[in-house]
Structure 1
Amino acid sequence: MDSLQTLHVEIPEHLTVPPTTHGGDQAPRSPAAVYRSAYGAARSAGHRFWYRLSGKGRKRVPGWAESVGNILKSSYLNILFAVVPVAWISHYLKWNSAVVFVLCFLSIIPMEGMLDWGGEQMTLYLGKQFGDLLIITLNNAVEAVLAIALLFQCELRLLQATLVGVILLHLLLIPGTSFMVNGKEIQHQVLQSHHSGLNQSLLLMGVLATLLPTAFFAALDRGNNPTPVFVNEELSVAVVSDFTRGEILKISRGLAILLILVYIQSRKYLHNPTGKKSDALALHEDEHDALKEHELRLLEEEPLTNPWACLVMLLVVVALLSATAGLLVKSIESVREGSNITTEWFGLILLPVVSYSADGTVTVVFWLERRIRSHKKKQHIEPSILAEGRAIDLSIQFTLWWTPLVVLLGWFTGRPMHLLFDYFEVAILVGSCFLVNYVTADSKTNWAEGFIMIVFYVMIALTAWFYPGQPEIKLMLECTATGVTELLTAAAASGAATEAASEVARSFARTVLG
């Protein structure tokens, strides 16, 4: 009794799920009952977390030899790991860029599959909340590495477009496809209500934070001009200056710190909403029965690897992924340089789709394997009532964590990365945010709403194909020892400067001469 009082489990009533049969036993099972029997001897929340992470309370935890064997046999895709050294050799021997790209792409596929499998295994030891956070972070690994690689190559305009493109991909296309495919045999699916309610606020705040530097720049550009168009255009050029960029950098770095703080506090709330230590590993009392059944499965399912072997594997795969993704970025740049694709479309659509394509391939392969197994066994796969909304969490993490982290990393490395985005990008981010919030407002989704999200993503892709980009923003992101003002002056005088500066200067010249 003392141990139960120390445990402070307050969830028996609201976590009780409908009666199930366990080997002929008709007594109902609940996450609370299983949780008590496994971790009732823990003296504190920290002990409970350690007990679950180390596998205490489980019937069986695999040893190292068995864990390594199960890791190697986790998927047929693991055979593609043999391509990894070939991809690296092809890069250093300067093979054709298209060949290097294909080899790097094939190398990333088994890595993504291993991260997914390892993340699901760690969820058994971490629980749904912490497990989902780990899976979300691992799934963002490729895009994060890609963003950091672009930052160090000083492709800041392409980096900004890619950041927006990754957010849109995880906000619209991926969850939309999931809602449409998984919801076609059921009237609606449910989202985690406690989670989706907070997500709407986080998503809106993250997007509005990118709107602030844009509004600041727009106000400087047009707020002080009296009447003539000539003054307006002259002011537009004057606003693109070292002083303005310096002010925007200060604003962006302050916003970045605040966004990271918000994300940390939001995760703290999700894991421990009431401030009681026992709640960190428990579901919220208002959650759907299907979520309680899912947590019960995590508590009782037998893992295929021990947590330490799984963590070592994840670290090794992330290291391999970081190196390979960097080579993938370098090889795909030749595609942009040798084509007529604009930087806007390349960053908004192509790079995010390519970065996710390996993970998408893994998802399709696993889905087909499941379908084939069920067909051979002549079993009908019951549609899940739980909607797969994890991709929305990916976009929120990218908005509130990775994007501000890239801004701060640019600050530490002397690169002028800021949150002043192209007006077009800000507009589609705000529109996508409102659409997703409307779709998830009732914590329910259906296939029609998924189709709407997909169509809106296609609309964005179509419009972006014809959009040339905003030259002022590109100039404000130039990595050069020469200041923005000097660069603009030189462009106006001789035309011998960057494309962005030349475009702004030409616009100014047309106004003066016309």
Structure 2
Amino acid sequence: MKKYLFPGLLTLFFVLSAIGHFAEWSATLQFVISAISVIFVAGFLGKATESVSHYAGQRLGGFLNATFGNAAELIIGILLVKEGLFDMVKASITGSIIGNLLLVLGLSLFAGGLKHKVQHYNVSLAGMNGSLMIVAIIALFVPAIFLQSHELPKEHITSLSIIVAGILIVAYLLWLLFSMITHKDYLADVTETNAEELPHEHKPAWSKRQSILYLILATVMVAFVSEWLVGTLDTFTAKFGLSEIFVGAFVVAIVGNAAEHSAAILLAMKNKIGASVEIAVGSSLQIALFVAPVLVFVSHLFGRPMDIVFTAIELAAIGVSVFIAKSITQDGQTNWYEGLLLIAVYAILGVSFYLI
């Protein structure tokens, strides 16, 4: 009976979310049902990711989770770009980066650290992730600084944005080549043999083909449920008088990353911290080095060029997030208190954005 309970509830709430969306139920009821649906879909995605990780290894499994998780954000971002809502797009990108670096990583380290005193992962990977985060910050800071200090024609800003976006995409693709192929062993997991395995977990519940299929299916479900849930947020933001930048950077980002949050935390509690770090940090890098630049190019297809110039507040938030995340992860070992520090910084930023 228990075996069929979770799939049944997952299907039930997903269907109810769809009906509520297309039948245009009250925003409050849609929000509650969609939020519950997100919880079940997140659990489904987490289980699929763990199963894939069993066959592909923690790093590749974490990368797949981050990629499929960000697919939903990319779709939503494209729709926002099409409507010309560039401020919301940039706020959402900011929220995704700081949310993954501070909230997702923080909760993962905290939950995993409570169960396992100290957790270890590849220190070389930690150093490379830190360097890539610094590159992302430089790429976002330089256009903003030049724009603030010099009066540049609009076409020059557009050209600068395209060039920077192109460089970031190439750098990210070469990073995948470096980390997954040419230096795969150099960045291999150190926790694979130490990961906690319960007796019934030696063999995953699904085959390799089923795991990949369910991972794709779960991602599609996440994309739909997240979009339905985000569609109900206008009523709540209007009711509580929240700013657009707060909604984009925190509410939309948290909802859009719900599945990744769940998967990273569950894996950390099973002492698979390598996969958790790959999900949290890898997702932030993917957003900064790939998703954001892609949206810049997509905006030109719609005839509404979007620049890569972020506001001072957004740059400050991303900057402090990268600084504390790099400081904590660079030694290749973690504990619950380091996770608490990341959550504390996220709370500080959240309050600051809320009061804008």
Q: TM bucket by the smaller chain?
A: 0.7 to 0.9
Partner of 1:157: 87
Q: Find out whether 1:436 has 2:345 as its counterpart.
A: no
Q: CA contact under 8 A between 1:120 and 1:135: conserved in structure 2?
A: no
d(CA) in 2 for partners of 1:93, 1:179: 41
Instruction: Return closer, same or farther for 1:177/1:263 CA change in 2, 3 Å cut-off.
Output: same
**Residues 178-193 of structure 1 mapped to structure 2, 5 A cutoff:** 178-184=108-114, 187-193=117-123
Cross-structure match for 1:265: 174
Give the match's secondary structure for 2:97.
helix
User: What is the aligned partner in structure 2 of residue 341 from structure 1?
Assistant: 242
Aligned 1:141-152 pairs, distance under 5 A: 141-152=71-82
Partner in structure 2 of residue 328 of structure 1: 229
Query: Structure 1 90/191 Cα, relative in aligned 2: closer, same or farther at 3 Å?
Result: same
Pick aligned residue for 1:284 from 160, 172, 186: 186
Q: How does 1:470-509 map to 2 (within 5 A)?
A: none
| Between 354-363 and 453-462, the greater mean CA deviation after superposition | 354-363
User: What is the identity, as a one-letter code, of the residue corresponding to 1:82?
Assistant: L
Equivalent position of 2:219 in the other structure: 318
**Shift of the alpha carbon at 1:102?**
2.2
> Please, what TM-score do these two structures have when normalized by structure 2?
0.86
Query: 1:192-211 alignment to 2 at 5 Å?
Result: 192-211=122-141
Preserved contact between residue 180 and residue 451 of structure 1 (Cα < 8 Å): yes
Q: Would the alpha carbon gap of residues 433 and 405 (structure 1) be closer, same or farther in structure 2, given more than 3 Å must change?
A: same
Aligned pairs for 1:239-258 (under 5 A) are 243-244=153-154, 246-258=155-167
How do 1:58-457 residues align onto structure 2 when only pairs under 5 Å count? Answer: 73=3, 76=6, 78-184=8-114, 187-220=117-150, 243-244=153-154, 246-274=155-183, 280=184, 283-284=185-186, 288=190, 290-294=191-195, 301-357=202-258, 360=261, 384=271, 386=273, 388-390=276-278, 391-457=280-346
**Residue deviations 1:243-262 (CA, integer Å, cap 9, x gap):** 42x32222112211211111
The CA deviation at 1:314 is: 3.2
Does the 8 Å CA contact 1:128/1:295 hold for their aligned counterparts? no
**Equivalent-residue separation in structure 2 for 1:294 and 1:385 (angstroms):** 5
Q: 2:170 is aligned with what amino acid?
A: L
Are 1:119 and 1:134, in contact at CA under 8 Å, matched by a contact in 2?
A: yes
Give 1 or 2: higher helix fraction. 2
Q: Which amino acid aligns with 2:277?
A: G
SS of aligned partner of 1:433: helix
Q: Partners in 1 of 2:309 and 2:34 — Cα distance? A: 32
State the distance in 2 between where 1:362 and 1:439 align: 21
Distance of 1:269 and 1:198 partners within structure 2: 11
Deviation at 1:286, TM superposition (A): 8.3
Deviation per CA, 1:221-280: give whole Å up to 9, x if none: 5xxxxxxxxxxxxxxxxx7xxx42x32222112211211111111111112335xxxxx5
Structure 2 residue matching 1:213: 3-state secondary structure: helix
Shift of the 439–296 alpha-carbon distance from structure 1 to 2, 3 Å rule, reads: same
User: What SS class does the counterpart of residue 442 from structure 1 fall into?
Assistant: coil
Give CA-to-partner distance per residue, 1:4-61, whole Å, 9 cap, x none. Answer: xxxxxxxxxxxxxxxxxxxxxxxxxxxxxxxxxxxxxxxxxxxxxxxxxxxxxxxxxx
3-state SS in 2 of match to 1:415 = coil
**Contact 1:83/1:106, CA 8 A, preserved across alignment:** yes
CA RMSD of aligned residues (A): 3.1
Matches of 1:347 and 1:325, distance apart in 2: 13
Q: 1:341: Cα distance to partner?
A: 0.8
- Matches of 1:448 and 1:306 in 2, distance apart? 37
Distance (whole Å) between structure 2 residues aligned to residue 296 and residue 272 of structure 1 = 28
1:260 and 1:350 mapped to 2: Cα distance? 27
Instruction: Describe the superposition over 1:322-380 as per-residue Cα deviations: whole angstroms up to 9, x where unpaired.
Output: 3333222222123223441111211122222233346546778x69xxxxxxxxxxxxx
Aligned equivalents of 2:8, 2:37: Cα separation in 1: 10
Structure showing greater radius of gyration is 1
SS, match of residue 302 in structure 1: coil
Give the Cα–Cα distance (whole angstroms) in 1 for the partners of residues 251 and 64 of structure 2.
Answer: 26
Give 2:66's aligned amino acid: I
For the 8 Å contact 1:194–1:287, the answer to whether it is kept is no
Is there any run of 5+ residues in structure 2 with no aligned partner, and where? none
Partner residue in 2 for 1:461: 350
Asked whether the 8 Å contact 1:176–1:453 carries over to 2, the reply is yes
For 1:435 and 1:358, the matched residues in 2 are separated by 24
Moved more, 189-198 or 147-156: 147-156
User: Which letter does structure 2 place at the counterpart of 1:436?
Assistant: A
Pick closer, same or farther for the CA change 1:343–1:82 going to 2, 3 Å: same
Q: 1:285 to 1:147 in 2, by over 3 A?
A: closer
Q: Deviations over 1:430-449 (max 9, x none)?
A: 12211111111211222222
How far 1:115 sits from its partner (Å)? 2.0
Deviation of the 1:87 alpha carbon: 2.0
Higher relative contact order (CA 8 A, sep 6+): 2
Tell me how far apart the structure 1 counterparts of residues 64 and 168 of structure 2 sit (CA, whole Å).
20
Q: Is the 8 A contact 1:113 1:362 kept in 2?
A: yes
The percentage of counterpart residues that share the same residue type is: 22
2:28–2:232 contact (8 Å) kept in structure 1: yes
The code of the aligned residue for 2:243 comes to T
Cα distance, 1:336–1:202 mapped onto 2, change above 3 Å: same
- The alpha carbon displacement at 1:198 in A equals 0.8
Q: For residues 214 and 74 of structure 1, what CA distance do their matches in structure 2 show? A: 53
Q: For residues 197 and 256 of structure 1, what CA distance do their matches in structure 2 show?
A: 23
